[in-house]
């Protein structure tokens, strides 16, 4: 087992924007982040940090036209062995210990686990293949960036 | 603080390929993963799970032409408050409890924290901006996919 330390918190969400506050002791880790247009946010899905959710391995993903039983490692279910959410977001503003982002799917109060810069050369795979059952559901998610 | 449970291990790496074995109790979470060409692997950078590495907030990233002091949240340094590595890899094969991937930057013995499907509509930002100091160093990383 590993120990996760929370480095910050989702302090506020409004419309599509979210304000992430990084705790003072981790603030210097943000140096240089303003050079990136997008970042990857790893957050703790704290409301799913329950034994029931963490032992869930098969789900019926919502928002899909066809309901197919799917493994949690084959979808973005918030119920999974480790309640870690991953979201690619647009970085709008960095000021002191806070960063404003667009498109974060975490809720207010979610602890932040890590922030990584988004590097297209290693993170962007435009032609990655997805299953047909997913194809019909990703249009709305497209709007997030 | 959160508790991370390891769901598998990097069992073997050879050339650019890696074999990830998912522990039996988590195996059913893989159902449907073969519909995706790429996955996101979160792994525990176990060799950096030390107090020294976890308290590192500023680094001089290697493999860059210009050495600039950078916050760990603005680069992919393995030394960071939570030793979680993130890598987008090509999924080559799924058989029973093992998956073969291409391009994983973890080493043999690294515990696996999570596996998520790569969904271009939300994960691919082709025109994301990166700082100039990084531009010169990403060519080699391009080969990984």
**What mean pLDDT do residues B89-106 have?**
96
Query: Looking at the predicted structure, is the pLDDT value of residue B144 above 70?
Result: no
Q: Which residues of A touch B123 (CB under 8 A)?
A: 88, 123-125, 128
What is the pLDDT, as a whole number, of residue A139? 44
Low-confidence ranges of chain A (pLDDT < 50): 139-145
Contact assignment for A74 to B36 by CB distance below 8 Å: yes
What is the pLDDT, as a whole number, of residue A64? 63
What is the pLDDT, as a whole number, of residue A136? 57
Distance of CA B64 to the CA centre of its chain: 20
H-type alpha helices, chain A:
51-54, 120-123, 132-135, 139-142
Nearest-angstrom CA–CA distance, B94 and B96: 7
Residue B100's SS3 state is strand
- Chain B interface, best mutation among A66, A121, A131, A134, by max B CB count within 10 A: A121
Q: Are A87 and A43 in contact (CB under 8 A)?
A: yes
Contact assignment for B114 to A76 by CB distance below 8 Å: no
Confidence of residue B44 (pLDDT cuts 50, 70, 90): very high
Q: Percentage of chain B surpassing pLDDT 70?
A: 90
Q: Which residues of B touch A119 (CB under 8 A)?
A: 76, 128, 130, 134, 138, 141
**Closest chain A CA to residue B127:** A120
Query: Looking at the predicted structure, is the pLDDT value of residue B29 above 50?
Result: yes
What is the pLDDT, as a whole number, of residue A67? 77
What is the pLDDT, as a whole number, of residue B145? 33
A4 → closest Cβ in B2, B32, B123: B2
Fold (topology level) of A8-49+81-139: Elongation Factor Tu (Ef-tu); domain 3 (2.40.30)
Contact assignment for B131 to A30 by CB distance below 8 Å: no
CA distance A12 to chain B (A): 20
Q: Alpha carbon of A99 to those of A9, A33, A92, B54, B140: distances in Å?
A: 11, 10, 8, 22, 30
Of the candidates A50, A58, A8, the residue with the CA atom closest to the CA atom of residue A29: A8
DSSP state, residue A110: P
CA distance A127 to chain B (A): 7
Confidence of residue B141 (pLDDT cuts 50, 70, 90): very low
B30 → closest Cβ in A33, A71, A145: A71
Which value does ipTM take for this structure? 0.92
What is the pLDDT, as a whole number, of residue B133? 81
- Model pTM score: 0.92
Q: Percentage of chain B surpassing pLDDT 90?
A: 84
Ordered by start, the domain boundaries in chain B are 1-45+83-120, 48-80
Digit-coded pLDDT (tens) for A5-45: 999 999 999 999 999 999 999 999 999 999 999 999 999 99
What is the pLDDT, as a whole number, of residue B143? 37
Fold (topology level) of B1-45+83-120: Elongation Factor Tu (Ef-tu); domain 3 (2.40.30)
Q: Alpha carbon of B143 to those of A54, A88, B61, B108, B140: distances in Å?
A: 35, 22, 19, 21, 6
Query: How many separate helices (H) and strands (E) can be counted in chain A?
Result: 4, 9
What is the pLDDT, as a whole number, of residue A82? 98
């Amino acid at each position: 087992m590993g120990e996760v330390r929370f480095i910050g918190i989702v302090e506020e969400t409004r419309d599509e924007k979210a304000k992430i506050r990084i705790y003072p002791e981790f603030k210097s880790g943000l140096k240089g982040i303003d050079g990136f247009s997008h970042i990857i946010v790893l957050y703790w899905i704290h409301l799913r940090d329950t034994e029931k959710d963490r032992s869930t391995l098969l789900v019926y993903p919502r928002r899909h036209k066809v309901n197919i039983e799917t493994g949690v490692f084959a979808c973005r279910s918030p119920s999974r062995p480790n309640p870690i959410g991953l979201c690619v977001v647009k970085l709008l503003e960095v000021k002191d210990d806070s960063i404003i982002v667009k498109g974060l799917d975490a809720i207010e109060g979610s602890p932040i686990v890590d922030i990584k810069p988004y590097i297209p050369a290693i993170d962007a795979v435009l032609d990655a293949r997805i299953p047909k059952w997913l194809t019909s559901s990703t249009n709305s998610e497209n709007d997030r960036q």
